[in-house]
Amino acid sequence: MLRFTAPLRNYPSHSEVMDIAPCAPKRRSETNPVYLDYPPRSFPSPVTASAPRASALLTKLSAFGQLDVNEIEVLNLLSRNAKPMRSEQMLIHEGSPTSSIYLIVSGLACRYKMLCDGRRQILGYLLPGDLCDIHFAIANKPDHSVALIGDSSVAQIPISRITELMLRYPRISRALTLASLVDSVILREWLLSVGQRDAMQKLCHFFCEMAVRLEAVGGINDDGSFELPVNQVTLADTLGLTPVHINRTLQRLRNEGLIRLCQRRLAILDRERLATIAGFDGAYLQLGLAAG
């Protein structure tokens, strides 16, 4: 197996323009909801572009095949009694058995593992419509933790309920299985990213993935931007880099006019070029269509 010397260090550039303010930390009230960071009193109503009709879960599962009215009803019911929860809230503790699984209705969560020396690797993100691992139902000892990033609304569902659904509605069962297949496809793509891509490519790839996945559940604003309540430390833990290096890489991206990341909101300004840098395809997220 040859390994070609990879020249692509100098990413397609645009350096003439530097119009994008690097997230000017001074002026506030730029545009969007001030994101309350830690222990504030008021609770911001969970903002997702598509709150109203179809739950994100339904939107997501529908991509895997037609569902009938009954099934749609049942799925929407799951999101009904979602509760607001604070950022940092843990849903699953590595090693501690759970008897329920969680559905992210709006907001963001992540899976992660920690090393004994305190290093952390984030293993994946849970977006609206994502269920945190049906498989915890079987393997009673979760091998990793799940925690919220940013305030979210989450429905807690007894495992028995899911089991029941899967028995009664084969099409839901199939869709859930396919969804968890996509999860492992994503996981493999991450391993590729963390193992082989450089900092710039990692960041671009991550942003592309989030954009596509959020788009699928209607989490993208009209102006093309979306909520991404991750700080630079979290990004570092996601991509296997240090916060400092994330910071510098982000600045390059901003200076190149590729993104705007500000107030926990990301706007991808040049999706095309971002994808080129990352070598992002997106087909890997399309299992739904492929198998549908």
Minimum CB–partner distance for residue 66 and DNA (Å): 42
> What span, in angstroms and rounded, lies between the C-alpha atoms of 57 and 82?
12
Task: State the distance between the two ends of the chain, measured CA to CA, in whole angstroms.
Answer: 35
Within the chain, how many helices (H) and strands (E) appear? Answer: 9, 10
Does 290 participate in binding its own copies (rule CB under 8 A)?
yes
Kindly list the residues in this chain that would bind DNA in the complex (CB under 7 A): 5-6, 9, 22-23, 25-28, 34, 36-41, 198-200, 231-233, 240-245, 247-251
Nearer to its own copies, 31 or 160 (CB): 160
Residue 139 binding: pick among DNA, its own copies, none (C-beta 5-8 Å cut-off by kind): its own copies
Residue 199 binding: pick among its own copies, DNA, none (C-beta 5-8 Å cut-off by kind): DNA
> What span, in angstroms and rounded, lies between the C-alpha atoms of 246 and 231?
10
Find the part of the chain contacting its own copies (CB under 8 A) among 16-24, 48-56, 180-188, 219-227: 180-188
Minimum CB–partner distance for residue 247 and DNA (Å): 4
Minimum CB–partner distance for residue 169 and DNA (Å): 40
> In terms of Cα–Cα distance, which of 125, 121, 144, 145 is closest to 240?
121
Long-range Cβ contacts of 228-234 (<8 Å, 24+ apart): 228/108, 228/261, 228/264, 228/265, 228/266, 229/35, 229/87, 229/107, 229/108, 229/149, 229/150, 229/264, 230/108, 230/149, 230/150, 230/264, 234/110, 234/122, 234/149
Minimum CB–partner distance for residue 195 and its own copies (Å): 3
Minimum CB–partner distance for residue 53 and its own copies (Å): 29
For 154-218, the DSSP string reads EEEEEHHHHHHHHHH-HHHHHHHHHHHHHHHHHHHHHHHHHHH--HHHHHHHHHHHHHHHHHHTT
Residue 287 binding: pick among its own copies, DNA, none (C-beta 5-8 Å cut-off by kind): its own copies
Residue 196 binding: pick among DNA, its own copies, none (C-beta 5-8 Å cut-off by kind): its own copies
Q: Which of residues 35-64 bind its own copies (CB under 8 A)?
A: none
Binding map of its own copies across residues 192-221, x = CB under 8 A, - = no contact: x-xxxx------------------------
Per CB under 8 A, residues contacting its own copies are: 1-4, 6-8, 111, 113, 115-121, 123, 135, 138-141, 143-144, 177-178, 181, 184-185, 187-192, 194-197, 233, 239-240, 279, 284, 287, 290-291
